[in-house]
Amino acid sequence: METLAMHISNGIIDGPVAAIFAALALAALTVCVLRGRRDLDDRLAPMAGLVAAFIFAVQMLNFPIFTAGVSGHLLGGALAAILVGPWVGALCVAVVLVVQALIFGDGGVAMLGLNITNMALLGTAAAYVLIAVLLRVLPRTRAGLAVTAFVAATLSVVVASQGFVLEYWLGGTTDLGNNLTGLAGTMAGVHLLIGIGEGLITATTVLTVAKVRPDLVYALRSLRTPAAPAVPVAGGAR
Amino acid sequence: MKNRSWAFLAGGLLVALLLAGVVSNYASSHPDGLDSSLLKGCTVDADDNIVGGSCPAQQARDHELADSPLADYGVRGVRNSFVSTGLSGVLGVLVTFAIGAGGFWLLRRRGTTPTDGTDPTDGTNPTDDTTPTSDDVRRRADAAS
């Protein structure tokens, strides 16, 4: 089996740019640790471990998309943001990416900062902004929650894919000439289709958890309480 | 932690283990969204090896840890690919859970009740009658223990 996860391999982005993003990712993850600690209590900590393990499992499940010969899999940022909040959620995805790079040879170790930036940070942040807005706007029903999860997950994948395009613009190892917009378009199109899969998986999982243990869904606790504290929102909109 | 939380955790882990241990063998083996985008400009054969053209994917180099015993989601030495993929998935889920749960447990706030302070209006939700809210259920769960 080839290395199939949607992670940047060594050699695709040059060393200096990869190093800069490694430093950026480390700084951002430190902020996530500091802010995430406020959310992490005796109940959320094991739940967050479960979210990371679940994302690892589902990332192995490449599904075909409706163009010939292309697959995709869950990134998990939206799922994590809904279930355990944006700060801890980003850390969950980062844990998965580190395990994949260091144990499973998936995504170059030198590229880890780039992959964390796109999937753990950008994907989760974009998802949480959308979740914060949609949960307030949409009706407080299961359908509202499903639509929130689906839309946030779908668009977060497209945002993450454009993170790669930015990185490629800065440090791509092949000169695309003026064709960077071509890469951006290809990436956006493919990842919109992958995002639909991400949206379906995320909505299904979130609805299941919300049915069994609604008290374990972070976004419902923080965003659906009347006069909710401003902290999580300000955090999401960062 | 309460019994219900343990049950949820165990159930969730079981689902993850089944997905990674069994369902993973039915995953699509086509190149993913990123790889396929980077292959644009190249022609590939039936096994997705590059046979011509020019594209970003040609710059890809080997992984630093390509010789890892679990590289590429297989267990080295296990010949049956179903078992190899499944076993690597199971190990991955367990390792990820151990690192995640262990790390988050060490980072958690201590000396506070599970009803966290970030949620001061917790449970006072009289205007919302469309759904049983999370707060109500949580309060019940907390009260039950």
Domain presence at residue A4: no
Domain presence at residue B41: no
Domain presence at residue A67: yes
Residue B50's DSSP bridge partners are: B44
Structure tokens that stand for B110 in this block: 């201590």
- CA closest to B122 among chain A residues: A225
Domain presence at residue B141: no
How does pLDDT run across B43-87, given as a tens digit for each residue?
888 777 888 888 999 899 999 988 889 999 999 999 999 999 999
For residue B46, the number of C-alpha atoms closer than 13 Å in the C-beta half-sphere is: 0
Whole-number pLDDT of residue A20: 97
Question: pLDDT band at residue B22, thresholds of 50, 70 and 90?
Answer: very high
Question: pLDDT band at residue B113, thresholds of 50, 70 and 90?
Answer: low
Query: What is the C-alpha to C-alpha distance for residues A114 and A23, in angstroms, rounded to an integer?
Result: 10
Terminus-to-terminus CA distance in chain A, angstroms?
Answer: 39
Contact of A46 with chain B, judged by CB distance below 8 Å, is answered with yes
Domain presence at residue B21: yes
A to B CB pairs, distance under 8 Å: 305
Nearest CA-CA partner of A7 in A90, A88, A94: A94
Domain presence at residue A153: yes
pLDDT at residue B18 tops 80: yes
CATH number, domain with residue A68: 1.10.1760.20
Under an 8 A CB cutoff, do B12 and A222 touch?
no
For A56, which of B96, B103, B124 is closest by C-beta distance?
A: B96
Domain presence at residue A156: yes
Nearest CA-CA partner of A50 in A16, A96, A12: A96
For B116, which of A41, A96, A109 is closest by C-beta distance?
A: A41
pLDDT at residue B101 tops 80: yes
Q: Which domain does A183 fall in, by range?
A: 15-236
For residue B51, the distance in angstroms to the closest alpha carbon of chain A comes to 17
pLDDT at residue B121 tops 80: no
- Within 8 A of A182 by CB-CB distance, chain B residues are 40
Under an 8 A CB cutoff, do B36 and A69 touch?
yes
87-126 in B: which are within 8 Å (CB) of A? 88-89, 92-105, 107-109, 112, 114, 116, 118-122, 124-125
Would you give the distance in Å from CA A193 to the centre of its chain? 16
Domain presence at residue B90: yes
Structure tokens that stand for B81 in this block: 């690919």
For A104, which of B72, B107, B121 is closest by C-beta distance?
A: B72
Under an 8 A CB cutoff, do B92 and A229 touch?
no
Whole-number pLDDT of residue A188: 96
Whole-number pLDDT of residue B74: 92
Q: Are B4 and A157 in contact (CB under 8 A)?
A: no
pLDDT at residue B115 tops 60: no
Query: What is the C-alpha to C-alpha distance for residues B100 and A91, in angstroms, rounded to an integer?
Result: 9
φ/ψ region of B41 (left if φ > 0, alpha if ψ in -120 to 50, else beta) reads left
Whole-number pLDDT of residue B110: 83
For residue A66, the distance in angstroms to the closest alpha carbon of chain B comes to 12
Domain presence at residue B96: yes
Domain presence at residue B87: yes
Domain presence at residue A76: yes
Under an 8 A CB cutoff, do B107 and A39 touch?
no
Query: What is the C-alpha to C-alpha distance for residues A159 and B124, in angstroms, rounded to an integer?
Result: 36
For residue A105, the distance in angstroms to the closest alpha carbon of chain B comes to 5
Q: Which residue has the tokens 């144990």?
A: A103
Tens-digit pLDDT profile for chain A (238 aa)?
Answer: 344 568 999 999 999 999 999 999 999 999 999 999 999 999 999 999 999 999 999 999 999 997 778 999 999 999 999 999 999 999 999 999 999 999 999 999 999 999 999 999 999 999 999 999 999 999 999 999 999 999 999 999 999 999 999 999 999 998 887 788 999 999 999 999 999 999 999 999 999 999 999 999 999 988 765 544 444 444 444 4
Q: What's the total number of domains in chain A?
A: 1
Assign 3-class secondary structure to chain A: CCCCCCCCCCCCECHHHHHHHHHHHHHHHHHHHHHHHHHCCCCHHHHHHHHHHHHHHHHCCCEECCCCCCEECCCCHHHHHHHHCHHHHHHHHHHHHHHHHHHCCCCCCCCHHHHHHHHHHHHHHHHHHHHHHHHHHCCCCHHHHHHHHHHHHHHHHHHHHHHHHHHHHHHECCCCCCCHHHHHHHHHHHHHHHHHHHHHHHHHHHHHHHHHCHHHCHHHHHHCCCCCCCHHHHHHCC
Q: Are B133 and A224 in contact (CB under 8 A)?
A: yes
Mutant choice from A33, A40, A67 vs B, greatest count of B C-beta within 10 A: A40
Under an 8 A CB cutoff, do B27 and A63 touch?
yes
Would you give the distance in Å from CA A194 to the centre of its chain? 13
Contact of A197 with chain B, judged by CB distance below 8 Å, is answered with no
Contact of B50 with chain A, judged by CB distance below 8 Å, is answered with no
If one counts every other C-beta atom within 10 angstroms of the C-beta of residue B111, the result is 4
Domain presence at residue A2: no
Domain presence at residue B81: yes
Q: What's the total number of domains in chain B?
A: 1
Whole-number pLDDT of residue A107: 93
Domain presence at residue A9: no
Contact of B79 with chain A, judged by CB distance below 8 Å, is answered with no
- CA closest to A189 among chain B residues: B33
Residue A47's contacts (CB-CB under 8 Å, 6 or more residues apart) are A83, A84, A216, B5, B9
Q: Which domain does B14 fall in, by range?
A: 10-26+66-108
For residue A53, the distance in angstroms to the closest alpha carbon of chain B comes to 5
Under an 8 A CB cutoff, do B85 and A1 touch?
yes
Nearest CA-CA partner of A104 in B123, B102, B87: B87
Domain presence at residue A162: yes
- Within 8 A of B95 by CB-CB distance, chain A residues are 99, 103
For residue B17, the distance in angstroms to the closest alpha carbon of chain A comes to 7
